[in-house]
Amino acid sequence: MAGNREFFNRKLHSLLGVIPVGVFLIQHLVVNHFATRGEEAFNSASHFMESLPFRYLLEIFVIFLPLLYHAIYGLYIAFTAKNNTSKYSYFRNWMFYIQRITGVITLIFLVWHVWETRIQAAMGADVNFQMMENILANPFMLAFYIIGVLSAIFHFANGLWSFMVSWGITVSPRSQVISTYVTLGIFVALSIVGIRAIFAFV
Amino acid sequence: MSEAAVKSKTVRFSVTRQDSPDSAPYQEEFEVEYRPNMNVISALMEIRRNPVNTKGENTTPINWDMNCLEEVCGACSMVINGKPRQSCTALIDQLEQPIRLEPMRTFPVVRDLQVDRSRMFDSLKKVKAWIPIDGTYDLGPGPRMPEKKRQWAYELSKCMTCGVCLEACPNVNSKSDFIGPAPLSQVRLFNSHPTGEMNKAERLEEIMGDGGLANCGNSQNCVQSCPKGIPLTTSIAALNRDTTLQSFKNFFGSDRV
Ligand code: HEM
Ligand code: SF4
Ligand code: FES
């Protein structure tokens, strides 16, 4: 790419957060939501995803590598900030700080979640309704899943807001206020989808 | 001091001092007699006349920077009660006491409250915050600027390189080489000038370099803190749009220059 490495890396980080990682997050939450229609509906939805053609290719290039890039570069970005919300307690500064906190929480949650499900599946376990039921029967894991899912959704919704600024889509102050409300709505809507799915296993 | 000092109203200060660029900072308390309409600088001048701290010890006069005394030069910025601002317009009547004075640590401290803002002037040179009009012959008058646009640009031109926006930004710190909001907004100013526009791509490419625009994380503290009310975050978002288009042009080529 002509131009500069850092500029390109940052833009790539921003883009990957939405496409494909953000799109995958929505898709994953929607599939999980089938659990509200009972065990069978969930199992058939998840088996449909598992039996997609080019499954490994899709998993590696649409999920794993983009997420890995976004997470590692995101950690670097998060830890180069010197957060100062105690001195400058403005709304956007708090969002900036929470974006970084939820990024780190999401990363911890994802490592655990991938280990518990996808890695176990690779080692022969059957990932299905019953597995999630067993995991979420533990109240600590239930709390961990709720926090992890809400973090990921917040991070994605607020990330959409900053994505639109980073690419020069929302430029004027008014457009940025409107997109704050829109992304807040996305946060609430996806949270309902995510939390309903979790409680369907309980 | 005698009875008069006891009776009259006083103003208390807690100043973070530092004797040289690499020596350790320390705290010193001062008390000066209150006068109506006093500001932080007039109080500092009062302390300079008689540099004695509250313990009654003789000390060195406090060092600070100033020039215009009317909030247009930006030299006198310091952190007053936790917020970076100009000390020449910080009125004592509006400040909670003891008034805490600290240097803006985002910049190298020269001595006491005086900091070295060279990095900002270097950034202005880097982003070519001027309009090149020199030629080997008379280039004649440039294109005219509509009055409405001139008024709009005037707002951006109010920047006094005071450093407050860099001090407030969580992404401007010793771990990062982000140039900060002020020089970015200047790129928007000079790129929108009808003659300055002729070097638009050069300036955009400069801020697409290391430490440039992409380091902004949208905390938006800058726009909340700028004493001149410059729409810094609008400038940043507008430049995000311009650099995105510029990067496409650089990569794919373009039918336009
Ligand atoms: C569910 C997974 C994730 C999704 C959907 C996601 C999505 C996003 C989006 C859309 C953005 C906005 C990009 C922009 O500001 O232009 C973003 C920013 C960010 N993400 Fe993520 N992300 C995820 C995981 C992570 C992880 C694991 C980390 C690691 C700590 C992380 C750290 C960050 C940071 C620090 C930013 C701010 C970048 C900036 O302001 O310059 N993210 N993310
Ligand atoms: S943009 Fe505002 S806060 Fe920043 S240096 Fe200029 S005048 Fe100071
Ligand atoms: S002395 Fe110039 S801004 Fe205060």
pLDDT digits (tens, 9 = 90+) for A136-195: 999 999 999 999 999 999 999 999 999 999 999 999 999 999 999 999 999 999 999 999
- % of chain A residues with pLDDT over 90: 96
How does pLDDT run across A79-91, given as a tens digit for each residue? 999 999 999 999 9
Q: Among B129, B106, B130, which residue's Cα sits nearest to residue B118?
A: B106
| Chain B hits for A11, Cβ within 8 Å | 214, 244, 247
What is the residue extent of each domain of chain B? Answer: 3-115, 118-252
- % of chain A residues with pLDDT over 70: 99
For residue A168, the chain B residue with the least C-alpha distance is B241
The count of C-alpha atoms lying within 13 angstroms of the C-alpha of B193, restricted to the half-sphere facing its C-beta, is: 18
CA-based end-to-end distance of chain B: 73
Residue A153 confidence (pLDDT)? 98
Given pLDDT bands bounded at 50, 70 and 90, which one contains residue B5?
A: very low
Q: How far is CA B201 from CA A69, B50, B116, B206, B245, in A?
A: 30, 55, 30, 9, 10
Whether residue A81 and residue B170 make contact (CB cut-off 8 A), yes or no, is: yes
B228 pLDDT more than 70: yes
Q: Among B113, B111, B89, B115, which residue's Cα sits nearest to residue B100?
A: B113
| Chain B hits for A97, Cβ within 8 Å | 170, 219
CATH fold of A2-200 reads 3 helical TM bundles of succinate and fumarate reductases (1.20.1300)
CATH fold of B3-115 reads Ubiquitin-like (UB roll) (3.10.20)
- Burial readout A11-36 (b: 16 or more C-beta within 10 A, e: otherwise): bebbbbbbebbbebbeebbeebbbbe
Q: Which CATH number fits domain B118-252: 3.30.300.210, 1.10.101.10, 3.40.50.620, 1.10.1060.10?
A: 1.10.1060.10
ipTM value: 0.94
Indicate the pTM of the whole model: 0.94
Helix (H) or strand (E) segment spanning residue B16 = strand B10-17
Which whole number is the average pLDDT over A108-114?
A: 97
Ligand 1 lined by A78 (C-beta under 6 Å): yes
The count of C-alpha atoms lying within 13 angstroms of the C-alpha of A177, restricted to the half-sphere facing its C-beta, is: 3
Ligand nearest to the CA of B90: 3
Residue B180 confidence (pLDDT)? 98
Given pLDDT bands bounded at 50, 70 and 90, which one contains residue A1?
A: very low
B22 pLDDT more than 90: yes
B6 pLDDT more than 60: no
Residue A122 confidence (pLDDT)? 92
Whether residue A171 and residue B241 make contact (CB cut-off 8 A), yes or no, is: yes
Q: Among B186, B171, B174, which residue's Cα sits nearest to residue B217?
A: B171
The residue whose CA is least distant from atom 8 of ligand 1 is: A17
Given pLDDT bands bounded at 50, 70 and 90, which one contains residue A2?
A: very low
Residue A3 confidence (pLDDT)? 54
Given pLDDT bands bounded at 50, 70 and 90, which one contains residue B120?
A: very high
Residue B134 confidence (pLDDT)? 82
The residue written with tokens 């690419």 in the block is: A167
**Cα(A102) to centroid(ligand 1), Å:** 9
